Homo-oligomer: A and B are copies of this chain.
Amino acid sequence: MYSFKCDYGEGAHPRILRALQRTNLEQTEGYLLDPYTQKASGLIKERIGRQEVDIHLLMGGTQTNLVALSAFLRPHQAVICADSGHIFVHETGAIEATGHKVFALPSPDGKLTPAQVKQAVELHTDEHMVKPKVVFLSNPTEVGTIYTKKELAAMRGVCDEYGLFLYIDGARLGCALTCRENDMTLRDFAAFPDAFYIGGTKNGAFMGEALVIANDRLKEDFRYLMKQKGALMAKGRFLGIQFCELFSDDLYFSLARHANDTAAVIRSALKENGYSLMTDSPTNQLFPIFPKEVLTRLEDKYLFTPWKELSDGRAAVRIVTSWATPMEQVQKFAQDLEKANKK
């Protein structure tokens, strides 16, 4: 049985394990004041090409989103996101629990447009309504799609026009920036948002997200907010060491590229065998639609995440590859798919 359910099913990349072992008995300061965390921060700044940003390492995506957004907003201010947005659907009301409304806009492809944002802001006219202040995007989105450089520039424009902050959830940012359709480097990308995070958990780390705060107005006292929300790791070096490994060379991106490459093999196989997909995802998450009998055959050997039951009896599932997915495994899946199709 092989699982395509998620990209957090294995441990960490072997280089990370080796680095943990190598440094294990060194004594360092706690709470992310150690030299590894500092070094990781420097490596990321270098890669982004901006020394003046603040970098904070946190333990997970929901945690990063809730610490950041609640730090950035006054009590009456709200977040705008797509209706598939992770903060709207899959974080158990974490943002609302910090006091802020999340205002969701319909989006079949998981992306927001500047026109939608503009309309949402203009809808909120007075003090009887919340005041939208942050635009929340994910890149890639929850359904695997990505933003182009032009799209992000346009979103930045509308944010500037309306005095909004732009925040981007990069839980799978590596996959966005290394897929074939992408037209940005991390440096290009980092020019747009006021803050974003570079996901480690889903790209080879045991855990860890590197939050980048670019806008000076959002930097003050951020470590207080981390501590208050239980997000300031005592043995913070554990995060620092992992990001040092990921960013000391191209590891972060090569792991993501591998996830995309293995997904590409599956995508080709799906298309060759005539299956359509729910979304046009160029990254490591695919949402194929199968007839029930095909799905049943595949489920003898593979685990998927159920996604949606269609009215015609077919079912969509989510297939996810990762840095840890062996190329042989996806090639085997391609063969099994062909067989399942023929029966």
Q: Interface of A with B (CB < 8 Å)?
A: 2-3, 5-6, 8-12, 14, 17, 20-21, 23-31, 59-67, 70-71, 74-76, 78, 89-94, 96-102, 127-131, 201-202, 206-207, 221, 223-235, 237-238, 324
Contacts and interface: CB of A to CB of B under 8 A. Distances in A.
Contact of A230 (B60, B96, B100, B201): B60
Contacts of A99: 93, 96-99
3 shortest A-B CB distances, which residue pairs? A63-B230, A11-B24, A76-B224
Given A127-B232, A206-B235, A225 B21 contact: no
Given A8-B234, A78-B93, A97-B229, A2 B27 contact: yes
Nearest to A76: B224
B235 A8 contact: yes
Most buried by B among A27, A129, A202: A27
Contacts of A229: 63, 66, 94, 97, 229-230
A14 B24 contact: yes
Given A90-B128, A96-B96, A235 B207 contact: yes
Most buried by B among A9, A28, A64, A70: A9
Given A61-B234, A90-B128, 16 more contacts: A9-B30, A10-B24, A10-B27, A12-B20, A17-B24, A60-B234, A66-B229, A70-B75, A71-B75, A96-B101, A96-B102, A127-B227, A127-B232, A131-B224, A206-B235, A230-B231
Contacts of A207: 233-235, 238
A89 B234 contact: no
A149 to B, nearest CB: 29
A171 to B, nearest CB: 9
A25 B204 CA distance: 11
A12 B24 CA distance: 7
Contact of A128 (B78, B92, B128, B202): B92
Given A127-B223, A224-B131, A228-B76, A26 B10 contact: yes
A227 B126 CA distance: 10
B130 A233 contact: no
A255 to B, nearest CB: 14
Most buried by B among A71, A206, A237: A206
A30 B31 CA distance: 26
A324 B76 CA distance: 34
A201 B94 contact: no
A35 to B, nearest CB: 13
